[in-house]
Amino acid sequence: MGFDATFLGVPAPLPRVTGPRAAECVELDYVHFAVVLDSVRRFARVTGVNVDGAALVDLDRGGDRWQLDDRVPADWQAGPLVYADNDFDRGHLVRRRDPVWGERAVAARANSDTFHYTNAAPQASGFNQSKELWLGLEDHVLAYAQATAQRLSVFTAPVLAAGDPEYRGVRVPLRFWKVVAWNAGGAAAGGAAAAATASPALATTAFVVDQAPLVDTSEARPVVGGAPPLGPFRTFQVPVADVAELTGLEMPELIAADVLPPTAVAAGWRRLESVDEVLLPAV
Protein backbone atom coordinates (compact mmCIF):
# COMPACT_ATOMS: atom_id res chain seq x y z
CA MET A 1 0.00 0.00 0.00
CA GLY A 2 2.84 2.38 0.78
CA PHE A 3 2.54 6.10 1.32
CA ASP A 4 -0.27 8.05 -0.37
CA ALA A 5 0.75 11.59 -1.32
CA THR A 6 -2.92 12.55 -1.87
CA PHE A 7 -4.15 11.16 1.46
CA LEU A 8 -4.90 14.63 2.86
CA GLY A 9 -6.98 15.76 -0.08
CA VAL A 10 -4.18 18.10 -1.10
CA PRO A 11 -0.76 16.98 -2.42
CA ALA A 12 1.81 16.24 0.30
CA PRO A 13 4.51 14.10 -1.33
CA LEU A 14 7.46 12.41 0.31
CA PRO A 15 10.56 14.59 0.50
CA ARG A 16 12.87 13.61 -2.35
CA VAL A 17 16.48 12.42 -2.32
CA THR A 18 18.32 14.10 -5.18
CA GLY A 19 21.82 14.13 -6.61
CA PRO A 20 24.34 11.27 -6.26
CA ARG A 21 22.68 9.93 -3.11
CA ALA A 22 19.50 9.11 -5.01
CA ALA A 23 21.21 6.14 -6.65
CA GLU A 24 22.08 4.76 -3.20
CA CYS A 25 18.48 4.82 -1.98
CA VAL A 26 15.51 2.50 -2.45
CA GLU A 27 11.87 3.16 -1.54
CA LEU A 28 10.19 0.33 0.36
CA ASP A 29 6.40 0.23 0.65
CA TYR A 30 4.67 -1.04 3.79
CA VAL A 31 1.05 -0.83 4.94
CA HIS A 32 0.15 2.88 5.11
CA PHE A 33 3.79 4.00 5.08
CA ALA A 34 7.02 3.99 3.10
CA VAL A 35 10.73 4.05 3.94
CA VAL A 36 13.40 5.48 1.66
CA LEU A 37 16.43 3.45 2.75
CA ASP A 38 19.99 4.68 2.24
CA SER A 39 21.93 1.51 1.37
CA VAL A 40 25.27 3.09 2.34
CA ARG A 41 24.31 4.64 5.69
CA ARG A 42 21.93 1.69 6.31
CA PHE A 43 19.24 3.93 7.80
CA ALA A 44 16.25 5.73 6.32
CA ARG A 45 16.79 9.05 4.57
CA VAL A 46 13.06 9.68 4.96
CA THR A 47 9.91 7.87 6.04
CA GLY A 48 6.33 8.89 5.35
CA VAL A 49 3.17 7.60 7.02
CA ASN A 50 -0.52 8.34 6.53
CA VAL A 51 -2.41 8.57 9.84
CA ASP A 52 -6.22 8.33 9.92
CA GLY A 53 -7.03 9.52 13.42
CA ALA A 54 -10.69 8.54 13.08
CA ALA A 55 -9.90 4.91 12.16
CA LEU A 56 -7.02 3.97 14.47
CA VAL A 57 -7.17 0.40 15.85
CA ASP A 58 -5.91 -0.38 19.35
CA LEU A 59 -3.47 -3.31 19.01
CA ASP A 60 -0.73 -4.44 21.37
CA ARG A 61 2.88 -4.42 20.24
CA GLY A 62 2.84 -8.09 19.29
CA GLY A 63 6.04 -9.10 21.04
CA ASP A 64 8.41 -6.60 19.41
CA ARG A 65 9.55 -9.11 16.79
CA TRP A 66 12.05 -7.04 14.83
CA GLN A 67 13.04 -8.40 11.43
CA LEU A 68 15.18 -7.59 8.42
CA ASP A 69 13.38 -6.77 5.20
CA ASP A 70 14.17 -9.60 2.78
CA ARG A 71 13.44 -7.40 -0.24
CA VAL A 72 16.86 -5.77 0.14
CA PRO A 73 20.28 -7.20 1.10
CA ALA A 74 20.90 -7.63 4.81
CA ASP A 75 24.06 -5.51 4.63
CA TRP A 76 21.97 -2.54 3.53
CA GLN A 77 20.21 -2.62 6.91
CA ALA A 78 21.41 -1.80 10.43
CA GLY A 79 20.36 -5.09 12.00
CA PRO A 80 20.39 -6.67 15.47
CA LEU A 81 24.17 -6.42 15.99
CA VAL A 82 23.92 -2.63 16.27
CA TYR A 83 21.55 -2.94 19.26
CA ALA A 84 23.08 -5.95 21.07
CA ASP A 85 24.48 -5.60 24.62
CA ASN A 86 24.30 -1.83 24.86
CA ASP A 87 21.90 0.92 25.88
CA PHE A 88 20.65 1.65 22.38
CA ASP A 89 16.96 1.18 21.73
CA ARG A 90 15.53 0.27 18.36
CA GLY A 91 13.80 3.61 17.91
CA HIS A 92 10.79 3.47 15.62
CA LEU A 93 10.91 6.15 12.92
CA VAL A 94 7.32 5.61 11.82
CA ARG A 95 5.62 5.29 15.21
CA ARG A 96 4.13 1.87 15.80
CA ARG A 97 0.59 3.15 16.24
CA ASP A 98 0.52 5.63 13.34
CA PRO A 99 -0.25 3.25 10.43
CA VAL A 100 -2.41 0.93 12.56
CA TRP A 101 -5.84 1.86 11.21
CA GLY A 102 -8.57 0.55 8.96
CA GLU A 103 -9.84 -3.03 8.90
CA ARG A 104 -8.37 -5.05 11.73
CA ALA A 105 -6.44 -7.44 9.48
CA VAL A 106 -4.90 -4.51 7.60
CA ALA A 107 -4.09 -2.74 10.86
CA ALA A 108 -2.38 -5.89 12.16
CA ARG A 109 -0.16 -6.03 9.07
CA ALA A 110 0.73 -2.37 9.52
CA ASN A 111 1.60 -3.01 13.16
CA SER A 112 3.96 -5.83 12.16
CA ASP A 113 5.49 -3.80 9.34
CA THR A 114 6.72 -1.11 11.73
CA PHE A 115 9.04 -3.70 13.31
CA HIS A 116 11.40 -3.85 10.34
CA TYR A 117 14.97 -2.71 10.93
CA THR A 118 14.56 -0.39 7.95
CA ASN A 119 12.17 1.58 10.19
CA ALA A 120 14.57 1.84 13.12
CA ALA A 121 17.54 3.91 14.20
CA PRO A 122 19.62 3.77 17.40
CA GLN A 123 18.22 5.96 20.12
CA ALA A 124 19.78 6.37 23.53
CA SER A 125 17.52 4.80 26.14
CA GLY A 126 16.99 8.15 27.85
CA PHE A 127 15.85 9.59 24.53
CA ASN A 128 13.31 6.87 23.81
CA GLN A 129 11.95 5.99 27.24
CA SER A 130 12.25 8.86 29.70
CA LYS A 131 10.54 11.64 27.75
CA GLU A 132 7.09 11.82 26.19
CA LEU A 133 7.54 15.10 24.34
CA TRP A 134 8.94 13.73 21.06
CA LEU A 135 6.33 10.97 20.86
CA GLY A 136 3.55 13.32 21.90
CA LEU A 137 4.11 15.90 19.18
CA GLU A 138 2.07 14.02 16.57
CA ASP A 139 -0.77 13.44 19.03
CA HIS A 140 -0.81 17.15 19.80
CA VAL A 141 -0.95 18.15 16.14
CA LEU A 142 -3.55 15.45 15.42
CA ALA A 143 -5.76 16.81 18.19
CA TYR A 144 -5.36 20.27 16.69
CA ALA A 145 -6.07 19.02 13.16
CA GLN A 146 -9.30 17.35 14.28
CA ALA A 147 -10.86 20.83 14.29
CA THR A 148 -10.72 20.66 10.48
CA ALA A 149 -9.55 17.16 9.56
CA GLN A 150 -8.74 13.84 11.16
CA ARG A 151 -5.78 12.88 9.03
CA LEU A 152 -2.08 13.56 9.11
CA SER A 153 0.88 12.72 6.93
CA VAL A 154 4.06 12.50 8.98
CA PHE A 155 7.62 12.45 7.66
CA THR A 156 10.41 11.37 10.01
CA ALA A 157 14.04 10.26 9.76
CA PRO A 158 17.44 10.69 11.32
CA VAL A 159 19.68 13.50 10.14
CA LEU A 160 22.39 11.46 8.39
CA ALA A 161 25.30 13.82 8.93
CA ALA A 162 28.87 13.26 7.79
CA GLY A 163 30.17 13.75 11.33
CA ASP A 164 27.99 11.13 13.03
CA PRO A 165 30.10 8.85 15.28
CA GLU A 166 31.05 5.40 14.00
CA TYR A 167 29.84 2.35 15.88
CA ARG A 168 29.77 -1.32 14.81
CA GLY A 169 29.89 -0.60 11.11
CA VAL A 170 27.37 2.25 11.10
CA ARG A 171 27.44 5.94 11.96
CA VAL A 172 24.96 6.69 14.72
CA PRO A 173 22.68 9.68 13.98
CA LEU A 174 22.70 12.37 16.64
CA ARG A 175 19.60 14.25 15.50
CA PHE A 176 16.16 13.31 14.21
CA TRP A 177 13.61 15.38 12.35
CA LYS A 178 9.87 15.28 11.88
CA VAL A 179 7.52 17.21 9.59
CA VAL A 180 3.79 16.91 10.27
CA ALA A 181 1.32 17.79 7.50
CA TRP A 182 -2.45 18.19 7.54
CA ASN A 183 -5.26 19.70 5.49
CA ALA A 184 -6.13 23.01 7.10
CA GLY A 185 -9.11 23.40 4.78
CA GLY A 186 -10.87 20.27 5.96
CA ALA A 187 -11.57 18.60 2.62
CA ALA A 188 -10.05 15.33 3.83
CA ALA A 189 -12.36 15.07 6.83
CA GLY A 190 -15.83 15.03 5.36
CA GLY A 191 -15.58 13.58 1.86
CA ALA A 192 -17.36 15.17 -1.11
CA ALA A 193 -19.67 17.40 0.95
CA ALA A 194 -16.77 18.96 2.82
CA ALA A 195 -14.75 19.35 -0.35
CA ALA A 196 -17.58 21.36 -1.88
CA THR A 197 -17.57 23.92 0.93
CA ALA A 198 -13.94 23.98 2.07
CA SER A 199 -10.78 25.14 0.36
CA PRO A 200 -8.06 22.48 0.69
CA ALA A 201 -4.90 23.97 2.10
CA LEU A 202 -1.79 22.08 3.09
CA ALA A 203 -0.30 23.04 6.47
CA THR A 204 2.96 21.80 7.95
CA THR A 205 5.19 22.20 10.96
CA ALA A 206 8.59 20.71 11.76
CA PHE A 207 10.61 19.52 14.73
CA VAL A 208 14.18 18.43 15.44
CA VAL A 209 15.36 16.43 18.43
CA ASP A 210 19.00 16.20 19.49
CA GLN A 211 20.23 13.11 21.35
CA ALA A 212 23.91 14.06 21.23
CA PRO A 213 24.22 14.61 25.02
CA LEU A 214 23.32 10.96 25.65
CA VAL A 215 25.33 9.22 22.94
CA ASP A 216 28.68 7.62 23.71
CA THR A 217 29.64 5.03 21.10
CA SER A 218 32.65 3.59 22.91
CA GLU A 219 32.31 -0.13 23.60
CA ALA A 220 33.75 0.35 27.07
CA ARG A 221 31.05 2.83 28.07
CA PRO A 222 28.23 2.55 25.52
CA VAL A 223 25.76 5.41 25.37
CA VAL A 224 25.19 5.93 29.10
CA GLY A 225 26.17 8.99 31.08
CA GLY A 226 24.85 11.69 33.35
CA ALA A 227 22.19 14.01 31.99
CA PRO A 228 23.56 17.40 30.98
CA PRO A 229 22.20 20.55 32.66
CA LEU A 230 19.74 21.19 29.81
CA GLY A 231 18.16 17.76 30.14
CA PRO A 232 18.74 14.35 28.56
CA PHE A 233 17.83 15.59 25.10
CA ARG A 234 16.48 18.70 23.46
CA THR A 235 13.46 19.14 21.21
CA PHE A 236 12.91 22.14 18.95
CA GLN A 237 10.17 23.44 16.68
CA VAL A 238 11.96 24.64 13.56
CA PRO A 239 11.18 26.04 10.11
CA VAL A 240 10.51 23.29 7.57
CA ALA A 241 13.10 24.93 5.34
CA ASP A 242 15.74 24.24 8.00
CA VAL A 243 14.91 20.54 7.90
CA ALA A 244 15.39 20.58 4.13
CA GLU A 245 18.76 22.28 4.58
CA LEU A 246 19.86 19.85 7.31
CA THR A 247 18.94 16.76 5.33
CA GLY A 248 19.57 17.80 1.74
CA LEU A 249 16.07 16.60 0.85
CA GLU A 250 13.78 18.42 -1.56
CA MET A 251 10.40 19.27 -0.01
CA PRO A 252 9.17 22.51 -1.61
CA GLU A 253 5.48 21.70 -1.04
CA LEU A 254 6.10 21.20 2.69
CA ILE A 255 8.24 24.33 2.98
CA ALA A 256 5.59 26.48 1.31
CA ALA A 257 2.92 25.24 3.75
CA ASP A 258 4.89 25.96 6.96
CA VAL A 259 2.59 27.47 9.63
CA LEU A 260 5.38 29.13 11.61
CA PRO A 261 4.88 32.90 11.39
CA PRO A 262 7.74 34.95 9.92
CA THR A 263 8.56 36.37 13.35
CA ALA A 264 9.09 32.87 14.73
CA VAL A 265 11.21 31.88 11.75
CA ALA A 266 13.35 34.97 12.22
CA ALA A 267 13.79 34.15 15.92
CA GLY A 268 15.34 30.77 15.12
CA TRP A 269 14.75 27.34 16.60
CA ARG A 270 12.25 27.24 19.48
CA ARG A 271 13.25 24.95 22.35
CA LEU A 272 10.20 23.02 23.60
CA GLU A 273 9.61 21.80 27.13
CA SER A 274 6.02 20.61 26.52
CA VAL A 275 3.60 20.14 23.64
CA ASP A 276 1.66 23.17 24.86
CA GLU A 277 4.55 25.33 23.59
CA VAL A 278 4.11 24.21 19.96
CA LEU A 279 3.11 27.15 17.75
CA LEU A 280 0.04 26.41 15.62
CA PRO A 281 -2.33 28.87 13.91
CA ALA A 282 -5.67 29.68 15.51
CA VAL A 283 -8.65 27.63 14.30
- pTM equals 0.89
Q: How many CB atoms lie within 10 A of CB 79?
A: 19
Average pLDDT, the chain: 85
Contact 53, 150 (CB under 8 A): yes
Q: How far is CA 213 from the centre of its chain?
A: 20
pLDDT in tens, 112-131: 999 999 999 998 876 654 45
For residue 267, the SS3 value is: helix
Domains of the chain: 19-61+68-277 (3.40.570.10)
Q: How far apart are the first and last CA of the chain?
A: 32
Whole-number Å distance between alpha carbons of 103 and 84: 35
* Section 8-30 average pLDDT: 96
Calculate the CA 257 to chain-centre distance: 18
What does the pLDDT average to over 89-107? Answer: 93
pLDDT per position as a tens digit, 208-262: 988 876 666 555 333 333 333 334 578 899 999 999 999 999 999 999 999 998 8
